[in-house]
Structure 1
Amino acid sequence: MPSSTVVVLTDNIDRGHDLCEAVRMMAGCRVADVEEQWLNLEPVVGVIADVALERPNSRRCLQRLTVRCRDRRMPLIYLTRTGTDAVLREAGNLGITACFSALAMEPRTVVAALFRLIAPAKTTTDLLVEHNFELVGSTFSEMFDTARSGSLDMETVNEAIGPLLVAIREGGLDRWITLIQAHDDTTLRHCLLVASYVAHFAIYLGLPSSERTTLIRAGLVHDVGKALIPLSVLNKPGKLDSSEMATMRTHAALGYEILAAAGSVDPIILAATRHHHEMLDGSGYPDGLQGGQIGDTVRLLTICDIYAALTERRPYRPPMSQTEALQILRGMTGKLEPALVEAFAASIEG
């Protein structure tokens, strides 16, 4: 369960659907009915009650909540469908923080009001982006843990795509990248950076949704082979020697083997995982492909991969600036497709 959870208390599950969807954009959501005993409130940061206070069981439920929350501040919003003085007085007696009309306010507006009470120093966009980062990071960690056993569930990977796109769309690329850059897990940080640049680039190019999804999926899993690289090499706080570099370079083929063993993986993603270090002039690895042997998805992913590597912090060097990194990409004539590099630069600079 996500670390921050909002409880939607309702006496009509169907009516609470839109409210729950709005909550899940910014936090975990749990639906409860009026028999709720409120036994585990540790992860709960707020409650939205959409029940009829005229009913004794609804009042008893909220009274139990009030007792359980006696020693902590937790916002409770009540959605009224009548707005009578008697209902509002009852709401006040039950310790309800704020009352809104269930008929006049959109679910997203109600949820935004709740989070202004929960975290007044943050905007709703801040909270949305942070929540989706938590979802994507958790999914990626689960994927990598599974990959260490030599297998992978692509459905787990797919769960990260929606939150990643929502965060970039709602908060912008820069805010999302700043969150990722602050993470201390080098592999997670790099893979999320690559997937994010891929997503942003695909959106900039106007690619269809299906192609965009495939590219993001490839970005998320392209380094999955690193799950089988010894941690002494993977997390070395310095440059790798020639032997360690040779070990590190096996990750592309290892990742391909993990995905192939999983079965039913798109051939495009298999190719991207194995070949994202190939260069157009044949100087890359593991297969020394060149020119037309390298597909469009790999070419695009490779550019994003190199840019992410250059602009992220490493123990042995500070991150490069955007200008410096793009200058290096532009200098890789013969290795990268120049037109695609310029399109990527335009997507980042714009």
Structure 2
Amino acid sequence: MLYRQMPKSGDKLSILGFGAMRLPVKEDGSIDEERAARQLRHAIDRGVNYVDTAWPYHTGASEPFLGRALADGYREKVKVATKLPSWLIESREDMDRFLNAQLEKLNTGHIDYYLVHALVGDLWDNVKKLGVTDFLDSAKADGRIINAGFSFHGAGEDFNRIVEAYDWDFCQIQYNFLDEKNQAGKDGLEYAASKNLGVIVMEPLRGGNLTKNLPQAVKEIWDEAPVKRSPAEWALRWVWDHPEVTVVLSGMNEEVHVQENLRIAEQAYPDSLTGAELQLVKRVEIKYRELMKVGCTGCQYCMPCPAGVNIPLCFEHYNNLYLVNNPEGERFMYAARLGGAVALGEPEFASLCVQCGQCAENCPQHIDIPTVLGSVVEELEGPDLEQRAAMAREMFKQI
């Protein structure tokens, strides 16, 4: 395992961080705790020493899971990161209430890396007005948190002013080869580093969209490389190639992914990709932009939908319609997965959208979700939707 140093604390952190937002789950959607704990502990045994969670992950179950999984001496081997749910804060007292609850959930006396979560400009203005800087100072002084930071999902013009507004130890940004100019982007990465902040990177694979359902046109570009690497390895190495990056979070939930990421994290030095390799990645970026219809990462911040729409799954199939050369198959799978055939449940189709706009307000990617859902209806539903859903239910034996 390779390590990089946090500029202010001097902590040597594993370049691979274990993200606890997409843990393996059982059929009922609950965390498969036995499997997830085994994956987490294996990663720690191999040198991972940074574990990231948050109040809403797995609908509130992620933090308590980690409190249990990090027993038996594993808590002492890692730095734990969790986050203040900024959108739920209505008073200065709320901040202490959430932090104290998180300490209890995580079964720990302190949070090593504590972030003000999912900031955009307006959210920052609100929590600052309510006294978040005093809260952070107090929590650091009494030892409940060690390092203070923020995670960012806003417009680039708000990033610098948030960096300047407090003596932060670190920040967390979305960064991958499709997001150099999105949110904080490359400019934000370099600005944070220039201010001596450690930088944690989330969504290096864009919620897995850079690795699954690989379009043939993208595969052909990757296949040109003299050194053969998986799409995940290319994407991770591209992020780690930036010396400003301290840790890259990966939401690992398959054993094979854990093993692959651990292997890559033993080799991914900064500035190690050649000019030809960087140009290859650029060509893949351009091809993806030609093919993708919506920039959803599957982060779930738009959920739950009051009308029952499974927004991330709708967008996954909408992108697949253009990324995978099987439109009829994709329409069938849309009807199957959103119609309750694969897993028992109520329909979750895009056509259930009532245009309330709540999802768009919460989207870190600033997608006009109701409008895009309208396009999903046009291209994936149609008059034979219920017929396809019924066929799927028959096939999956759930009628």
Normalised to the residue count of structure 2, the TM-score between the two structures is 0.25
Larger RCO, structures 1/2 (Cα 8 Å, 6+ apart): 2
More strand by share: 2
Query: Which of 1 and 2 has greater Rg?
Result: 1
